[in-house]
Structure 1
Amino acid sequence: MDKQEMELYCAGCGIAIQTEDKASVGYAPPQSLEKETVICQRCYRIRHYNEASTVTLGDDDFVRILNGIGDTKALVVQVVDIFDFNGSWLRGLPRFVGGNPILLVGNKVDLLPKNVNRNRLINWMRKSSADLGLKPLDVVLVSAHKGEGVERLVQAMNEYRKGRNIYVVGVTNVGKSSLINRLLKQFGESEMDITTSQFPGTTLDVIEIPLDDKSSLYDTPGIVNRDQLVHKVAPQELKVIMPDKPIKPKVYQLNAEQTMFIGGLARIDFVKGERQSFVFYLSNHLNVHRTKLANADELYAKHKGEMLAPPGPDAAESIVWEKFTFKVPSGKYDIVISGLGWIALHGKGANVEVHVPKGVAAGLRPSLI
C-alpha cells in the first residue's frame, strides 16, 4: 500500500491529511505526499511564513481527548507557564484523567529574573497546585527554548511512567510542542518536527511519538483558557505581551492616588496607602505609563490604541473593562494579571484597584521573589 492509499496524519499538528479541499483543515498538495515527512499546508505556512493560525478546536474535542486519557493507564505530564501559572492552569485535570499520576512541568524558567530561588519556586508550585486541587508526583522546571532541565525531565518521566504511555497536556501557548521537539532533538529523534508558533491552537489532534515497542509519548492539542490575555489581542501583538527574554523588572515609587497603565491592557490604581515601590514583572516590550488617578479616565480616552497600546485602535474601542479590588496586606505580595505578568508590592499594605479586559483574571498571592 503506497502513501496515496494510506490514511496520513500531519507530522506537525496531528490532523488527518486530505488533498481535495484547499480551504479545509488537513489540506496538503498531492505532490507533497511523496515526501518522507508529510505536513499540511497550514503547518507549512506557520513554519515558513509565521502566519497566524485561525483554526481552533471546540471544547467538546478537548473533553473527548482528555476523557480518552482517563480510559488508559498512563503518566500525564501537565505543562504550565511559570510566567503565567494560574492563567495556564488546566482546570479539573484530575477529574478527566482518572487515577493516572501527574507530573507537573514548569516551562519558560529562562524568562524569570536570575534572583528567583529555584527551590522556593518549586515549593511555591507544589503549594499552588494543592490549592488548585492537584498533588503532583513531582515538579520539574525546564526551558524548552534553552534546553534547561530537559535531562532532569527525561529522568523523571522514565522513573514515573513505569513502562506506560506518556500524555503531555496543557493550555495553549505553554510550550508543549516546543518542549517535545527539544526532547526529540536532544535524543536523536530528528524525523519528526512538531509545528510550533506563538499563535494559540497550533496542534490540532493527538500526535503519537513511539518510545519503544510497547509505549508512546502523545502530544495533545492546547486547551483554551478563555481568561488568558492572549485571546484578547491581535495575533501580531502576541510578540509584544509574551516575553522572549529574561524579564527586567520595572520599579516605580508611587504615592496614593496615582495610576499605572500597562499599554492599553491593564490599569492599576493605587487608591490608598503609604508611598511604596510597585515592581512590574512584564514582557520587556511592554510600555508602562504613570498618571494621576484623577486624570486616568481622560488619558485613556485620549490615547487608547496609540500611546496606550497594545491592543491597537480597533480592539481598544471594543474593550469592556472589569475591576478587581485588592486590600494588600503588609508584607510581600504579588498582584497577578493572567497572561500579562505581575506587580510586586513590598510595603505596609495598600488598597489597589486593577482594571483588565472583561474575562481576564487577576488575583493576589504571596510574593514569588
Structure 2
Amino acid sequence: MSENEVIVDGEVVHCIGCGAKVQTNDKNALGYTPQSALEKGLKSGEVYCQRCFRLRHYNEIAPVSLSDDDFLKLLTSISETDSLIVYVIDIFDVNGSLIPGLHRFVGHNPVLLVGNKMDVLPASIKKTKVRDWLRQRANAAGIRPVDVELISAKTNFDVDRLLDQIEKYRHGKDVYVVGVTNVGKSTLINSVIRRSTGIKELITTSRFPGTTLDRIDIPLDDGHSIVDTPGIIQPEQMAHHLVGKELNLVTPQKTIKPKVYQLNPEQTLFFGGVARFDYETGDRKHGFTVYAENNLYIHRTKLINADAFYDKQLGHLLTPPSDESRVADFPALERHEFKTTQKSDVVIEGLGWVTVPSGVVVSGWAPKGVSVLIRPAMI
C-alpha cells in the first residue's frame, strides 16, 4: 500500500468518478485531490479526484491517466475473465475513440459495440446506415462485435434497448464497460445505475466503492457486476488539444444544423483555429455542406491568403484556441489531400465533416495526430 494513499477508517478512499485511489501529494499522478477538496468530499460523501472534478464541472480533460503499462495490465486482466465487453465509441469521433487490437487484450469475450451521442447527428441520417458504417470501421480496426447499438446516454435515447441487449448477451456474466475518455461513458454508466438499481444520484463511495485503481464495481441483482473501467486518454483525440470552454465550441452540444457553403475553387473554410477545409480544384462552384457544432465560428477566405490569415488571426478572430497564451502551445495543422470519385464526406475526427461532390480535389487540415479521412457520404 502506497504511503500517498488516503486512508479513512482503515480503508483506502477512492475517487467515485474514476475509481482511482485518492492521494494529496502528487499533482501529476492519478487520484490527486487537494487537501481542502478532500475534506469537503469526505463530509459530503462524494470524493472526486481533481481530474474528474475538472471534467465534470469545466468539461476539461487533464493530461493524467493510466500509463500504457497500466492499460495493458487492465485489458489483459479482462481477457482472463468470462464476461461481456461493452465497448463505448463516440460516433462523432470514431477514430479518436477506437482502441486498435482490442480483441487481443479482451480475449474471446464477446464485444457489444455501442455508438454514443446519436443526439448530435441530424435526424436525416438513417440509423441503419450509421450502424452498418460503424461496424465496418470496427472491423477495419480488427474488432468483430457481436452486435452494434446506437444510443444517446445524454438524452437516454435507446438506453433501455441497450440494457436489454446487455442482458441478452451477458448470459449471467459480469459486464466490463470500456472506452477512451470523452465518449460519454460516465453518462452512460450513471444511466445504467438509475435503471438497474433505482438510485438516481451519482455513484457514492459507500454504495459503489472503487475496489482498485482501475475499476468501479456496480452490483447487479444476480450477484454479478457491471464493471466501469477508467477512460483511456488517446492523444489523437481533438478534445485533448483543447481546454475549458474551448471544448464546448468544438464538441457538438445539441443536434447539428447542417450549413451549406457555396465555394469556388481555391477557397478555404476555417473552423475556428482548430481545423481547415480547402476546395482546391474543380470544374465550377459547388455547394459544400458542413456538419459541426452549431456555435463554432466558420470563416471563408481565399486559399491563396489562407496561410497568412491563419498566422495573423489564430487566437483572435480564429478561436479556439481562446487567446494568445494558448496559441504558443497549439499544434500546427497538418494537410490531408483527397480527390473524390463520388459524393463523399471529408471527416475531421472530433470536429465533424464536410460533404463534398464527386470530381473535386479538396484538403482537410487538423492538429498533428488528429485523423482526417474520407468516406462515402452518409447523407
The two structures share one fold, judged by TM-score above 0.5:
yes
2:48 is equivalent to residue 40 of structure 1: yes
Please name the residue that 1:136 is paired with.
145
- Which range moved further: 271-280 or 316-325? 316-325
2:269 & 2:141 partners in 1: Cα distance? 30
Match of 1:184 among 180, 189, 193: 193
2:89 is equivalent to residue 84 of structure 1: no
Match of 1:114 among 120, 123, 138: 123
Task: Give the SS at the match of 1:83.
Answer: coil
2:308 & 2:256 partners in 1: Cα distance? 30
- Aligned 1:15-164 pairs, distance under 5 A: 15-17=20-22, 21=25, 25=31, 27=33, 29=38, 33=42, 37-40=45-48, 42=50, 45-46=53-54, 49-50=57-58, 52=60, 54=62, 55-164=64-173
Please name the residue that 1:368 is paired with.
378
Please name the residue that 1:175 is paired with.
184
1:77 & 1:359 partners in 2: Cα distance? 26
The change in CA–CA distance for 1:234 and 1:123 in structure 2 (over 3 A counts) is same
CA drift of 1:236 comes to: 2.9
2:200 & 2:13 partners in 1: Cα distance? 15
Task: Give the SS at the match of 1:348.
Answer: coil
Q: Is the 8 A contact 1:9 1:38 kept in 2?
A: no
2:50 maps to a residue whose letter is: R
Please name the residue that 2:319 is paired with.
309
TM-score, normalised with respect to structure 2? 0.87
RMSD: 2.5
2:305 is equivalent to residue 300 of structure 1: no
> How many residues are aligned here?
357
Please name the residue that 2:290 is paired with.
280
1:351 maps to a residue whose letter is: V
Match of 1:265 among 274, 277, 287: 274
2:9 & 2:26 partners in 1: Cα distance? 17
CA drift of 1:355 comes to: 2.2
1:166 maps to a residue whose letter is: V
Q: Is the 8 A contact 1:13 1:194 kept in 2?
A: no
CA drift of 1:170 comes to: 0.8
2:340 is equivalent to residue 328 of structure 1: yes
1:85 maps to a residue whose letter is: V
Please name the residue that 2:263 is paired with.
254
1:31 & 1:168 partners in 2: Cα distance? 29
Please name the residue that 1:353 is paired with.
363
Q: Deviations over 1:134-177 (max 9, x none)?
A: 22111111111111111110110001011111011111100111
2:17 is equivalent to residue 4 of structure 1: no
TM-score, normalised with respect to structure 1? 0.89
Q: Is the 8 A contact 1:26 1:42 kept in 2?
A: yes
Task: Give the SS at the match of 1:57.
Answer: coil
Q: Is the 8 A contact 2:38 2:47 kept in 1?
A: no
